[in-house]
Every structure is written in structure tokens, then in C-alpha cells.
């Protein structure tokens, strides 16, 4: 079930973010096995997906929409470089506008409305109270650059990948809720360059296989995968730029507060080929669930314990879990008494 966008909640300071019962039930739990290993876990993103699920539509709009858009606005005011687009990516940015507006207005007609009259478009975002008429392809007719304009209206981060010379390059995007990576640092990098810090996967040839697959994605055949990490507190922005704000929080976990403070952070990553520019739209939709909420599902609780218990040391370090990993494993053990 999908709950309508609700009141504003915060992802910083007092951390008022919470999940409804419905949000917990539709959470994309990422572990199909008791042990986690890197793999090319890519599958077709067939649309529409199951009704009410996170996979139902190309862009998932849920109860946290208003809160996430407010957080995005705060981040961009603090650091406008969280949104960028290289000049040659202008067609891709307009592709993104077309794809987002067309699908969102069709999938959520109560929230978004689009009228096209040739190049004259009329867009209404009823949730954010936006009502704009513009000329498609003419950035001067928008209140801000096209990447930022549409990026401020979708949940999750967006990267636009230019494809050339058999590779993918991160040449545009809006990234305000990253899991410890920086758009400003990675901009212009090739596929393997921006995945450089990932341990173990390179030796296994994961990225070679992934790149071959991704560069062959056709139009109207999006694919998806899940990625995960853990975070302390319901903080969306865990970027290197803001590390002084959240780095010390990793040391604040205790056996008494682990259920409240530690969150499973799952990214639904969708790659969609855009027709005009041939760029890939890479959407990174982030979902957070506290351990207290996660263990209300007994199967998830048991599997979470086994995955954490068996996690290789390089991954514990890479995902930043070193300071509280054992505390979490010990806490989860009571939900998995036979293991």
C-alpha cells in the first residue's frame, strides 16, 4: 500500500522522520540470502510493477515526498554544487524533464498535471504548489536550470550518464542524499572510476559485466537493482562534504539505543535509456528503516542478523560500520535464537 505524502519531517537535528506501518510493509528489504556477496543483481524494471510497491512506477512518490523535497532545498542552499550539468548534457537534462513529467503526470494524476501544445508545456505540481508554463528546450523559460528544476521535484538522487566510447560518464546530476560519495568529486568520471573505492567487486569482475550490460540497455527497457548500507540516525545527507556533521554519530551507538539509532539504508537504483540524448538516467531512490521497525518483520530480523554476522571485514570497513557492527550483531541475535 502507498500512503499519500504527509506532514514535514526532518532528516537532521531533531530527526523527526518516521515510517508508517504501510511504509514498513513496502520497504525494499535487500537480502535474498543469509549471506551478502557483491553481484550484478540487475533485473528488468517492468512497468507497471505490483500495485503499491516501490517498483510500481518509474518514480516512486510516497509519504516522505514533502519532507525529502524540503531537505533537498536545504542542501542546495548550503551547497549549490550538489547539482551540476556539463554543457554537452543540456539535451539529456531536457530528456529527464520529459521522462519525469510524462510518467509522473500519468502515474500520479492527483499530484501532477502536464499539458503539451507543441513546445509549449504547462506543468503543475500540486504537492509543491508549482504552476509553470515553459518552452521545451529553452532553459531561459524555466525558473532555474533544467537539471535543478526537475531534480527538485523527484524523490531520490538523479545522475545522468553520457555514453561514449563504450563507457558511461557521470556528467550531470542532482545529489543531495548520497551514501558517502560526492557528485562534485565524481563528476566527469567513467563508470569504473567512480566505483573505484568499492572493495572485492573489481577482483570478481562485477563492474566489467555490469558496464557491458548497462551500455546495451535500449529505450523503454529500464532495469533496476538494490544497494544498501547502514546509517546512524535518519540522516539522508551522508556526503563527504557534510562529514563533520555526521561522522561522530557512528560512535554514538550503544547496546541500549541501537534499535532506535541504526537504520538500514536501501537504494532502489533504476537505469533508464532516454531517447533524444541516448544518455542513461540513473535514479537512486533512498529508503530508511530503523532496526526497531525492521525487526517487526520476524523474517527480516532473522536474516538481518545472519547477513551482519557473516559480513566480510572489508565490507564492514567500506560501509563505515566498524564502530557499531558488533553491537548491532549482538542486538540482532535475540531475533535469531537458532543461529
Each of the 339 residues of the chain gets a pLDDT tens digit; together they read: 677 788 899 999 999 999 999 999 999 999 999 988 766 688 999 999 999 999 999 999 999 999 999 999 999 999 999 999 999 999 999 999 999 999 999 999 999 999 999 999 999 999 999 999 999 999 999 999 999 999 999 999 999 999 998 899 999 999 999 998 888 888 878 887 876 655 544 444 567 788 888 999 999 999 999 999 999 999 999 999 999 999 899 999 999 999 999 999 999 999 999 999 999 999 999 999 999 999 999 999 999 999 999 999 988 998 889 999 999 999 999 999 877
- Quote the cell numbers at residue 33: 540470502
State the catalytic residue, choosing from 26, 225, 251, 276.
225
| pLDDT attached to residue 11 | 97
pTM of the predicted model, to two decimals? 0.94
Q: What is the DSSP letter of 155?
A: S
Q: How far apart are CA 40 and CA 113, in angstroms?
A: 37
**Domain residue ranges in the chain:** 21-86+150-335
β-bridge partners, 20: none
- Identify whether the C-beta of residue 99 lies closer than 8 Å to the C-beta of residue 107: no
Using a 10 angstrom Cβ sphere, with 0-12 exposed, 13-18 middle and 19 or more buried, the burial of residue 243 is exposed
- Quote the cell numbers at residue 84: 551540476
Q: How far apart are CA 227 and CA 219, in angstroms?
A: 23
For 72-101, how does the pLDDT look when each residue is reduced to its tens digit (9 = 90+)?
999 999 999 999 999 999 999 999 999 999
Residue 152 appears among annotated catalytic residues = no
- Quote the cell numbers at residue 31: 537480502
For 152-204, how does the pLDDT look when each residue is reduced to its tens digit (9 = 90+)?
999 999 999 999 988 999 999 999 999 988 888 888 788 878 766 555 444 44
Owner of C-alpha cell 523535497: 69
For the four alpha carbons of 40, 46, 52 and 58, in that order, the dihedral sign comes to positive
Q: Which of 183, 211, 198 is nearest to 280 (CA)?
A: 211
- Identify whether the C-beta of residue 225 lies closer than 8 Å to the C-beta of residue 32: no
Q: How far apart are CA 254 and CA 200, in angstroms?
A: 30
- Identify whether the C-beta of residue 201 lies closer than 8 Å to the C-beta of residue 195: yes
Helical (H) or strand (E) element with 114: strand 112-117
Q: Which of 305, 257, 231, 273 is nearest to 31 (CA)?
A: 305
Amino acid at each position: 500500500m502507498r500512503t499519500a505524502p504527509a506532514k514535514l519531517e526532518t532528516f537532521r537535528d531533531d530527526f523527526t522522520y518516521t515510517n508508517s506501518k504501510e511504509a514498513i510493509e513496502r520497504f525494499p528489504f535487500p537480502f535474498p540470502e543469509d549471506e551478502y556477496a557483491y553481484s550484478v543483481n540487475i533485473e528488468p524494471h517492468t512497468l507497471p510493477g505490483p500495485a503499491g510497491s516501490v517498483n510500481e512506477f518509474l518514480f516512486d512518490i510516497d509519504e516522505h515526498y514533502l519532507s525529502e523535497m524540503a531537505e533537498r532545498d536545504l542542501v542546495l542552499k548550503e551547497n549549490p554544487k550538489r547539482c551540476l550539468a556539463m554543457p554537452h548534457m543540456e539535451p539529456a537534462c531536457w530528456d529527464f524533464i520529459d521522462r519525469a513529467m510524462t510518467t509522473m503526470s500519468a502515474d500520479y494524476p492527483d499530484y501532477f498535471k502536464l499539458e503539451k501544445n507543441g513546445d509549449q508545456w504547462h506543468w503543475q505540481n500540486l504537492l509543491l504548489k508549482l504552476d509553470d508554463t515553459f518552452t521545451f528546450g529553452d532553459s531561459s523559460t524555466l525558473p532555474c536550470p533544467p537539471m535543478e528544476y526537475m531534480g527538485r521535484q523527484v524523490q531520490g538522487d538523479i545522475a545522468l550518464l553520457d555514453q561514449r566510447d563504450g563507457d558511461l560518464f557521470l556528467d550531470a546530476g542532482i545529489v543531495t542524499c548520497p551514501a558517502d560519495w560526492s557528485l562534485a568529486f565524481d563528476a566527469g568520471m567513467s563508470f569504473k572510476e567512480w566505483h573505484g573505492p568499492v572493495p572485492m567487486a573489481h577482483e570478481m569482475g562485477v563492474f566489467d559485466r555490469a558496464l557491458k550490460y548497462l551500455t546495451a540497455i535500449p529505450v523503454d527497457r529500464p532495469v533496476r537493482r538494490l544497494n544498501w548500507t547502514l546509517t546512524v540516525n535518519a540522516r539522508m545527507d551522508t556526503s563527504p562534504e557534510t562529514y563533520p556533521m555526521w561522522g561522530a554519530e557512528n560512535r554514538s551507538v550503544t547496546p541500549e539505543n541501537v534499535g532506535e539509532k541504526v537504520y538500514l539504508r536501501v537504494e532502489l537504483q533504476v537505469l533508464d535509456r532516454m531517447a533524444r540524448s541516448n544518455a542513461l538516467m540513473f535514479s537512486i531512490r533512498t529508503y530508511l528503516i530503523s532496526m526497531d521497525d525492521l525487526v517487526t518483520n520476524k523474517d527480516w530480523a532473522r536474516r538481518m542478523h545472519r547477513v551482519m554476522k557473516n559480513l566480510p571485514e572489508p565490507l564492514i570497513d567500506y560501509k563505515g560500520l566498524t564502530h557499531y557492527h558488533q553491537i548491532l550483531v549482538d542486538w540482532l541475535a535475540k531475533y535469531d535464537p537458532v543461529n
